[in-house]
Amino acid sequence: MAGNQKAKGKAEQAKGKAKEALGRAVGNERMEAEGRAQGAKGDARQAKEKTKDVFKH
């Protein structure tokens, strides 16, 4: 299960970065902000899973 959550975090980070870049390219500030938020959500998921890993060992 943890691997699945890590993969979701990586996917969210990638989608967020792509959306942010696209928003910046077309001049859409809302899309850019949504991309940053999605990337931050992925970062948070990754941090949570890393913390879990630390306490497992």
Structural domain including 19 reads 2-56
The predicted-structure confidence for 6-51, as pLDDT tens digits, reads as follows: 889 999 999 999 999 999 999 999 999 999 999 999 999 999 988 9
Structure tokens at 27: 């001049």
| pTM: predicted TM-score of the whole model, two decimal places | 0.80
Q: Among 26, 31, 2, which residue's Cα sits nearest to residue 15? A: 31
Q: What is the pLDDT of residue 53?
A: 84
Structural domain count, the chain: 1
CB-hemisphere CA count at 13 Å for 15?
11
Burial class of 35 by CB neighbour count within 10 A (0 to 12, 13 to 18, 19+): buried
